[in-house]
Amino acid sequence: MSPPAPPRPVRATPPQRPDRHGGADDRIKLPLDWEKLLAARLHAVKVRPYLADALFALHVVEDRAVPTMAVDAHWRCYVSPAFVARTPVEELAGIWVHEVSHLLRDHHGRSERYAREHEESGPGERLRRNIAADFEINDDIYGDGLPRPFGAVVPSLLRLPDGLLMEEYLRTASMSGLAAELAWLDCGSGADGHDRAWELGPDGANGLTRQQQDAVRFRVAEGIKGRPGHAPEGWRRWADEAFQPPQPWRQLLGAAVRSAAGAPGVGENHTYRRPSRRSSSVPGVVLPSLRRTPPRVCVVIDTSGSVSDAELGSALLEVAAISRAVGGRRDLVSVISCDAAAGVAVPLCRAESLELLGGGGTDLRSGFARALRSRPRPDVIVALTDGQTPWPSGQPPCRTVVGLFPRPARATDEDDPDYVPDTPPSWARVVIIG
């Protein structure tokens, strides 16, 4: 399972704090200052109570080969006694949270997947992944009682924006400028998925199995979701997505339109209206035949001011592509632009220069009414909207798919600050776009 241990990256000495007796510590065999290390963990638990389960689940291993602190994929935490001795408690607390974040955010699994997909291995690439993982963590865990440790790498070092994911940092930046200075940086296999010489490996004692790791992650995520007010935005987003990874909306929208268009009664299905081609060989047996009735798809587009042109363009292209794939001929796809009042249904085949009119407030009810009035009646209505609209009170007599552009939940009506738009009705299949 585990490949032979990779060559250790060439590591210069970590940057020493200028004002402290740094270099001397490494030469003297210091015992690990457990009290300081655990007090730091306590500090971390005090300021980030929702991470307590994960912090306590780490098994601490004292190791002189580790440059600073590192974690492995089995939730062991390797600690250098010299590093603990020369680092203040409050910074150690930040490093505890940093290391446990690598594990909670599954950087080892994601990093391995990235390496496999891009066929990037070797010490330089590993370091690059470690830096990208650190960027993802360091831009949002510090502050609010947790100081950023000396020498922590942040995206602004490379003039990159905050708040991206590890994979996005890896894609956008080469990080070659940093690699030489940061060759000492090493958060262990927990950060980049590659085993290190000092690690105990999967058979060592006190590791967590995958199921146990999932259980800890799950408890932390539930804790954050249970008291969302206490956790910052980045952690809340993580908790929401930890066990329900966001799915590509294109595929979801495609599946929704496809299954709406293909549900019994519409689209391709079996029928007894026409004899089956197999019938001639088996006389006396009644066989159904496969018959395709291309679905008519009517796209109602919310053209009110709150939906951006880019959003509309991408979603409309997608619907057209999908409905073609379903078998809807281009002339069976029509588009209605709708703000407070609905426009006319324009068939997509004539819509090379499709104009989406509108810009005011929204009332999708008129769009639905217009779609249902058109003859022949559509089999599927796809509504693309940001959801800040009244919805029809009853279920329309055809399948409905709502592509929803996400908006932060806040009051939109200035006259009535308590106004909250209705959520899409339960009879529609809702796909969050973007």
Partner 1 sequence: MTSSTLLPAFAPATSTSETDTNLALAGQLLSLLRTTATEPRPDEQLEALTLAVAADLPVLLWGEPGIGKTAALTQLATSLDLPLTTVIASVHEPSDFSGLPIVGDDPAVQGVPMAPPQWAVELVRAGRGLLFLDELSTATPAVQAALLRVVLERRVGTLQLPPGVRIVAAANPRASAADGWELSPPLANRFVHLNWVHDRDVVVRGLGGVWPRAELPRLAPERLSESVAFARHAVCGFLKARPTLIHRLPGSETRRGGAWPSPRSWEAALTLLAFGTAASVSRDVLALLVRGAVGDGPGLELLAHHDRMDLPDPESLLADPAAAELPERGDLRQAALEAVVAAVGARPERHRWEAGWAVLVRAMETGAPDLLVAPATALAGLRRDDWEVPEVVERLAGVVGLVRTADRSVERVAAAADARRATGARR
Site stretch for partner 1 (CB under 8 A), options 158-166, 238-246, 344-352, 368-376: 238-246
Contacts with partner 1, 145-184, as mask; x by CB under 8 A: xxx-------------------------------------
The closest alpha carbon to 105, from 51, 33, 40, belongs to: 51
Residue 4, by phi and psi: left (phi above 0), alpha (psi -120 to 50) or beta?
Answer: beta
140 near partner 1 (CB under 8 A): no
Name the minimum Å distance from CB 363 to partner 1.
25
DSSP-derived letter for residue 352 is T
Contact (CB, 8 A) for 261 and 295: yes
Cβ 180 to partner 1 shortest distance, Å? 31
User: Does position 247 bind partner 1 by CB under 8 A?
Assistant: yes
The span of 79-87, 331-339, 409-417, 423-431 binding partner 1 (CB under 8 A) equals 423-431
- Nearer CB in complex with partner 1: 11/59: 59
Residues 198-227 that bind partner 1 (CB under 8 A): 206, 208-212, 214-216, 218-219
Task: Select 102 or 370, whichever has its Cβ closest to partner 1.
Answer: 102
Residue 431 binds partner 1 (CB under 8 A)? yes
Neighbouring CB atoms inside 10 A of 313's CB total 11
Q: Within 305-344, which residues bind partner 1 (CB under 8 A)? A: 325
- CA distance readout (Å), 2 to 108, 195, 303: 14, 8, 55
Interaction with partner 1 in 79-108: which residues (CB under 8 A)?
88-90, 93
User: Which DSSP state fits 349?
Assistant: G
Query: Binding residue for partner 1 (CB under 8 A) from 54, 141, 166, 257?
Result: 54
What distance in Å separates the CA atoms of residue 285 and residue 48, rounded to the nearest whole number? 70
In this complex, which beta carbon is closest to partner 1, that of residue 367 or of residue 403?
403
Q: Which of residues 339-398 bind partner 1 (CB under 8 A)?
A: none
Q: Return the range that interacts with partner 1 (CB under 8 A); candidates 98-106, 164-172, 304-312, 426-434.
A: 426-434
Q: Which two tokens stand for residue 21?
A: 């007796």
Query: How many chain residues are in contact with partner 1, going by CB under 8 A?
Result: 71
Beta-bridged to residue 293, according to DSSP, are 267
On the 0-12 / 13-18 / 19+ scale of CB atoms within 10 A, 314 is middle
Q: Which residues between 262 and 291 bind partner 1 (CB under 8 A)?
A: 262-264, 268-270, 276, 281-282, 284-288, 290
Phi-psi region of 322 (alpha: psi -120 to 50; beta: other; left: phi over 0): alpha
Q: Count of CB atoms within 10 A of residue 161's CB?
A: 11
Q: Which of 16, 121, 172, 259 is close enough to bind partner 1 by CB under 8 A?
A: 259
Among 150, 175, 158, which residue's Cα sits nearest to residue 98? 150
Task: Determine, following the binding rule CB under 8 A, whether residue 427 of this chain makes contact with partner 1.
Answer: no
Amino acid at 423: T
What SS3 state is found at 293? strand
